[in-house]
Structure 1
Amino acid sequence: MSNLKIEQPELLSKTSFVSKFLNFKINIVPMKIYLFMLLCMFLTINRGIQPSGIIGGITLLALYGYVCAELGNRIPFLKYVGGTVIMATFLPSYLVYVHMIPQVAITSIGTFMKQSNFLYFFIACIVVGSICSMNRQVLIKAFLKMFVPLIAGTIVAMALGTVIGVLLGIGWYQTFFFIVIPILAGGVGEGALPLSMGYSSILAQEQNTIFASVLPCVMIGSLTAIIISGGLNILGEKHPEFTGHGNLLKTGDDEILKAATESAKTKKEIPFDIEKFLNVSFFAFSLYIGGMWIDSVIGLPAPIVMLIGVVVLKAVGLIPPYIEEGAHALFRFIVLLTPPLLLGVGVAMTPWKNLVDVFTNPLYLIVIVCTVASLIATAWFVGKAMNMNPVEASMVVACHSGQGSTGDVAILTAGKRLELMPFAQVSTRIGGVVNVTLAIALMRILVGN
């Protein structure tokens, strides 16, 4: 009997450990479900029959994405400066580089990201979900004010970045056109790619060569913005007077502020309604499809058309109440898919070698960090002077130095402010288009073509 008494606590301890292990969550996925997903995926990949399409793609993104995000959320210090985003985006890029992700999985993820347009699905849901559930009066005032810190930050970043490049011996021409402008061009597909095409036509050089030279600057600039955004979130937690907890605007109108606060409280109490959720989803997708048509007619990118359209409809009061209620549910749902999306970005759109090339050139690294830091710092002070919440104003303008839409997601996720996505899209896309156009025009004048 005495031996039995000694063994019972050990048995209970083992049972307790197994129970805790199986009930542990990897981000949002319970361990039991995660292990089952892992087993099924291992069996199919081992036979080279990885399911394609949305089933295989989403499962793979979830398997890798949530575990990378969980790691980033548990590493000391890193978790406070956007560790979830850094690990979910850049660790997969490294794992691809060292061949630690099976090729069949890499191919499946790459195919899914390109064919499904998962990134724009995410952006459509985030933009429509956040704008439709936003207080109308605050929305109008915020959009009008946000251009001031954006323009001021861009001018300071261009000037300071170029001056530092000159002082370091890089030269103003190389610094301005091939380091600073790519950072502020609005991403890769929307910025670096058309920029390199314009440079190629003027300089009579291979477009691929120019693109490869500017891409690392875009990616390191985005990484710098991610880290700073994580730091801004910490600053906001320690000094609440600097943040609106996701609200861009400090308003002097107490009634508007009160209405916005009451609206936020009400949204949290709205029960999940599947019909409203589906209706706002269809509304978001239709806006994007309409944007594609307008893009084919006048060349204005579909996400910008979608953004303008939903802002105008909200501003004039044409969004029905059931859409506004469903929008908040859509926003909460799509935020849960952030780690899988970032994993896809890391695997399919972030080549590790390009990142390393810049890290091994300290002069370029100094220019990049100073350019991004000055952009964000200027937005802080200008935003504060304009009665905006400086943490939010800085994060929105920080997206101007990101990797386009992927950078917006990563930067705002690191700062825990995904509700700022509509403003980030304006910052990234409109700011990027203006900078690319001006840079190509200026180079054409200088070269004389």
Structure 2
Amino acid sequence: MSTTDDSYLITAEKQGVHKTAREKWWHVLDTYKIGIIPLPFFILAGVLILLDCLSGKLPSDIVVMVATLAFFGFACGEFGKRLPLVGKLGAAAICATFIPSAMVHYGWLPDVVVESTTKFYKSTNILYLYICCIIVGSIMSMNRQVMIQGFLRIFIPMLCGEIVGMLVGMGVGMALGLPPFQTFFFLILPMMAGGVGEGAIPLSMGYATLLHMEQGVALGRILPIVMLGSLTAIVLAGVLNQIGKRYPHLTGEGTLMPTKDGSIGNSVEEFTGKITVNALACGALLAILLYMVGMLGQRLIGLPAPVGMLFAAVAVKLVHGVSPTIQHGSMVVYKFFRTAVTYPILFAVGVAITPWQELIDAFTVQNLLVIISTVCALVGTGFLVGKKIGMHPIDVAIVSCCQSGQGGTGDVAILTSGNRMPLMPFAQIATRIGGAINVTVGLLVLAKFFV
């Protein structure tokens, strides 16, 4: 809609002028939405997907999958947002991930949708495209000084949180009569292992070797704990977001460090001028190239590709490696993915890699108490230590939530729940680096003292 049309509509509304059919249609498109999708588009997408399902074939190509993931992802997210009470505590991210998982398990989602979504997700690795655009975009849009201070200080609350979380979890487990070995190696350590691919799977391989058990059995015991820890963290992030709204002095709204005068300040670079299509394309290409740099680092030294990409992006930012125009384009790409791709990605994750039955099987009272107490202690410590060393405690605590998240997918859900997507670079540090250290140290302790 053009500026002239906008001005006309506003004037017409003020003067009580009768709207034409075209203007009424535009009003419907701009006002009534499911997520970001205009309601008529949403209905049309549903009808087209239904017709494909009735024909028995839903193509897994990117064109059809964009519409399919958007339809289901935003529907689940909108449902979560509208739930009473919990709608403000991260229910949108939880519903977008776990409702699809339940639908797959109980057969409520057509088989063709499940097959096409799983094939698309696993063949394209679209999650990594999402993460690289989010990380690189958030770093490029971040205030340089704030970024330096945040990276230097975030390790202190992370380390303190892990120590306190482990001690509290062990104490609760022992009080409930659980064996200390089981509590630490099959409850606490999996929660802080950094997710599935970089955490649960390497941990299960280590357990299979050291404890002489089948890797599948080990993974079956570990994976539900990872998911429950991530679920707890998602809820806590939503609670922290509401606390931040009630007590604004405790939050930086996506930045870790206050300015010298004590205010929230501007954590985002101020770019001048209009963004061009060329700058937008260069911003997207920058994210992809830096991820390829991370992949090269993974082949050469074994550093996880997202972490290598993160370090490369920080280095580019610190040495002013790209122009402000390209940084601006990168920021717009980041905003696009954050707004338009988050819920579709979470839906794909729920369908393709989130086993509902394993999650339900882990819902024992003892497990839940250990998990909740561990995550709460970890996050609470991050809050207190962050406040003590002059950081925004709400934002530090939300990063701490990611220490018990389900890898990259958990980071997305946690930061979406906490409405702090600009913290993705710090979340990746908490998840990837923190998880790798925990797995390595945990297996070394197991081999040295328990085998």
**Structure 1 length as normaliser, TM-score?**
0.92
* Per-residue deviation, 1:419: 0.5
Q: 1:26 aligns with which of 16, 21, 34?
A: 34
User: Which range moved further: 341-350 or 48-57?
Assistant: 48-57
Partner of 2:295: 292
Q: Does 1:85 align with 2:88?
A: no
Give runs of aligned pairs for residues 178-197 of structure 1, distance below 5 A. 178-197=186-205
Structure 1, residues 214-264: CA drift from partner, whole Å, max 9, x if none?
11110010000000100000000000010011111124367x975x36x55
Structure 1, residues 65-114: CA drift from partner, whole Å, max 9, x if none?
01111111111111110011011111111111110101110011111111
Q: Does 1:412 align with 2:420?
A: no
Give runs of aligned pairs for residues 91-106 of structure 1, distance below 5 A. 91-106=99-114
* Per-residue deviation, 1:19: 9.5
Q: 2:166 aligns with which of 158, 161, 171?
A: 158
**Alpha-carbon distance in structure 2 between the residues aligned to 1:338 and 1:425:** 16
Secondary structure (helix, strand or coil) at the match of 1:355 reads helix
Give runs of aligned pairs for residues 32-431 of structure 1, distance below 5 A. 32-252=40-260, 260=266, 263=268, 266-267=270-271, 271-336=274-339, 337-359=341-363, 361-431=364-434
**Alpha-carbon distance in structure 1 between the residues aligned to 2:167 and 2:139:** 34
CA contact (8 A) 1:162 1:176 kept: yes
**Structure 2 length as normaliser, TM-score?**
0.91
**Alpha-carbon distance in structure 1 between the residues aligned to 2:376 and 2:88:** 18
**Alpha-carbon distance in structure 2 between the residues aligned to 1:319 and 1:246:** 23
Secondary structure (helix, strand or coil) at the match of 1:244 reads coil
Please, which runs of 5 or more residues in structure 1 have no aligned partner? 1-11
**Alpha-carbon distance in structure 2 between the residues aligned to 1:21 and 1:231:** 33
Which residue type is aligned with residue 430 of structure 1? Answer: I
CA contact (8 A) 2:229 2:375 kept: yes
Which residue type is aligned with residue 169 of structure 1? Answer: G
CA contact (8 A) 1:288 1:303 kept: yes
Please, which runs of 5 or more residues in structure 2 have no aligned partner? 1-18
**Alpha-carbon distance in structure 2 between the residues aligned to 1:81 and 1:222:** 14
* Per-residue deviation, 1:34: 1.2
CA contact (8 A) 2:252 2:264 kept: no
CA contact (8 A) 1:251 1:387 kept: no
* Per-residue deviation, 1:376: 0.1
Structure 1, residues 42-70: CA drift from partner, whole Å, max 9, x if none?
11121122112212222211110011111
Partner of 1:5: none
Which residue type is aligned with residue 347 of structure 1? Answer: V
Structure 1, residues 423-444: CA drift from partner, whole Å, max 9, x if none?
0000100000000001111111
CA contact (8 A) 2:275 2:325 kept: no
**Alpha-carbon distance in structure 1 between the residues aligned to 2:264 and 2:338:** 25
Secondary structure (helix, strand or coil) at the match of 1:139 reads helix
Taking only aligned residues, the RMSD between alpha carbons, in angstroms, comes to: 2.0
**Alpha-carbon distance in structure 2 between the residues aligned to 1:84 and 1:184:** 24
Structure 1, residues 161-187: CA drift from partner, whole Å, max 9, x if none?
011111111111000000000000000
Which residue type is aligned with residue 330 of structure 2? Answer: A
Structure 1, residues 412-431: CA drift from partner, whole Å, max 9, x if none?
00000000000000010000
**Alpha-carbon distance in structure 2 between the residues aligned to 1:416 and 1:113:** 25
CA shift in 2, pair 1:370/1:257, >3 Å:
closer
CA contact (8 A) 1:132 1:319 kept: no
**Alpha-carbon distance in structure 1 between the residues aligned to 2:274 and 2:391:** 31
**Alpha-carbon distance in structure 1 between the residues aligned to 2:25 and 2:53:** 28
CA contact (8 A) 2:286 2:330 kept: no
* Per-residue deviation, 1:21: 7.0
* Per-residue deviation, 1:18: 10
Structure 1, residues 260-280: CA drift from partner, whole Å, max 9, x if none?
36x55x35x764422111101
Which residue type is aligned with residue 350 of structure 2? Answer: G
CA contact (8 A) 2:136 2:313 kept: yes
Structure 1, residues 11-35: CA drift from partner, whole Å, max 9, x if none?
x9xxx99998775200100111111
Partner of 1:9: none
**Alpha-carbon distance in structure 1 between the residues aligned to 2:152 and 2:63:** 42
CA shift in 2, pair 1:21/1:276, >3 Å:
closer
Aligned length: 428
